[in-house]
Amino acid sequence: MIPCMSSHLFVQAPAKLNLALSVGATRPDGMHPISSWMVTVDLFDDLHLERLPEGNFSLFATVWHRDALRRSDIDWSISKDLVNRAHDHLEAFVGRALPVKVRVEKRIPIGGGLGGGSSDAAAMLRAMNALFELHIGDEDLRGLAANIGSDVPFLVSGGSALVGGTGGDIQVLGDPPEVHAVLFFPAVACPTADVYRQFDRGAKAPMLRSDAVAALASRPSIGPTDPFNDLAGPAQDIAPSIADDREEIAMVTELPVHVCGSGSSLFVICSDGMHAQALAAHCAAKLALPAVAVRTCANQTPYASRTPCDSASVQRSL
């Protein structure tokens, strides 16, 4: 962990892609075991943090970045905000107040299966660790992350990893292989709990395909047909328009179209960066769907910034 020599910090929270996702039968505790190959990609939310003097209340704001391609209402309560929860868990872990002002500027769609809220929480843990020079290791950060959400432990380190259990079993694979893709953002959201309930209504007893997930992750490269996702069908059942969007995208791109996580975002695998950029521009012109080219990336290291949070924009306080 790099020490922070400033009271201001900037960190980016990358979206995640499930290049392979297998889901098992419901456990006695009601949770589903998964086996997934997850990677981070260069679509980011931005977090601006300012360390406040002792005795101050922490302040949180979440807004859409001016570059955001798909926006929806930011209407959840502060108590359910994952960035706030990450802050609370970190305060409890160190046993003292960590007053901070945080502004989150979102590009990653809400309810799109790209882990935006989870990545924001993971970035908050990393940034607070640096800002307050807490010297907490990644293993302990992942332990805290497991109490916040199932995708948060992976996103503490990001990059490329095999993820099992209910998200807390992480086999870090290091930097991801170079994968280029185009993401598409349907207007509909897919609540994760609803998608899993629909998955449970399936006619066949689910089997966890951990070997198939590990085999795909071991390849030096992946092709357009390689990704798979057990939640694609249930997501389409919850939001039938996704099937129509997939069909339209497939007609324009002439590529297989995959569902991101529990939906609703979609993606196609491209041959290289030039292909992805050209295809995203072509699809944006031909389809009524926002499209953006992305590539795999490692997680971003928090770094000091001289630009303070805009106090006028901080709307919610704790």
β-strands 303-304, 316-317: how paired? unpaired
For residue 169, tell me if it sits in a domain: yes
Verify that 125 and 246 share a domain, yes or no: no
- Tell me: pLDDT of 317 over 50: no
> In the prediction, which pLDDT does 303 show?
64
Q: What is the number of structural domains in the chain?
A: 2
Task: Classify residue 243 by its DSSP letter.
Answer: H
Q: How far apart are CA 150 and CA 269, in angstroms?
A: 25
Tens of pLDDT, residues 31-71: 899 999 999 999 999 999 999 999 999 999 999 999 999 99
Nearest Cα to Cα of residue 22 among 213, 242, 296:
213
Verify that 164 and 205 share a domain, yes or no: no
> In the prediction, which pLDDT does 305 show?
60
Instruction: Count CB atoms within 10 A of the CB of residue 66.
Output: 7
- Tell me: pLDDT of 310 over 50: no
Higher pLDDT, 316 or 119: 119
Residue type at 104 in one-letter notation: V
For residue 163, tell me if it sits in a domain: yes
Verify that 147 and 36 share a domain, yes or no: yes
Verify that 121 and 49 share a domain, yes or no: yes
Burial of 70 (0-12, 13-18, 19+ CB in 10 A): buried
Q: Are the beta carbons of 318 and 84 closer than 8 angstroms?
A: yes
For residue 309, tell me if it sits in a domain: no
Residue numbers of the domain that contains 243: 180-295
For residue 1, tell me if it sits in a domain: no
For residue 303, tell me if it sits in a domain: no
- Tell me: pLDDT of 309 over 60: no
Verify that 184 and 170 share a domain, yes or no: no
Handedness of CA 169, 239, 254, 282 (dihedral sign): negative
> In the prediction, which pLDDT does 107 show?
97
Verify that 218 and 160 share a domain, yes or no: no
Does the active-site annotation cover 16?
Answer: yes
Query: What mean pLDDT comes out for the span 216-240?
Result: 95
Instruction: Read off the CATH number of the domain in which 191 is found.
Output: 3.30.70.890
Q: How far apart are CA 112 and CA 116, in angstroms?
A: 8
For residue 160, tell me if it sits in a domain: yes
- Tell me: pLDDT of 281 over 80: yes
Residues 6+ apart with CB under 8 A from 107: 43, 44, 45, 46, 64, 65, 67, 68, 69
Verify that 166 and 190 share a domain, yes or no: no
Tens of pLDDT, residues 138-149: 999 999 999 999
Verify that 166 and 205 share a domain, yes or no: no
Instruction: Read off the CATH number of the domain in which 84 is found.
Output: 3.30.230.10
Nearest Cα to Cα of residue 41 among 215, 225, 178, 150:
178
Half-sphere exposure of 167 (CA within 13 A, CB side): 22
Verify that 85 and 184 share a domain, yes or no: no
Verify that 18 and 147 share a domain, yes or no: yes
Residues 6+ apart with CB under 8 A from 244: none
If you average pLDDT over every residue of the chain, what do you get?
91
Which of 45, 46, 81, 151 is the catalytic position?
151
> In the prediction, which pLDDT does 312 show?
36
> In the prediction, which pLDDT does 302 show?
66
Verify that 199 and 165 share a domain, yes or no: no
Which residue has 């889901």 as its token pair?
23
Name the band, by pLDDT with cuts 50, 70 and 90, for residue 316.
very low
Does the active-site annotation cover 106?
Answer: no
For residue 147, tell me if it sits in a domain: yes
Query: What mean pLDDT comes out for the span 238-253?
Result: 96
Q: Of 6-10, 226-230, 271-275, 314-318, which range is least confident?
A: 314-318
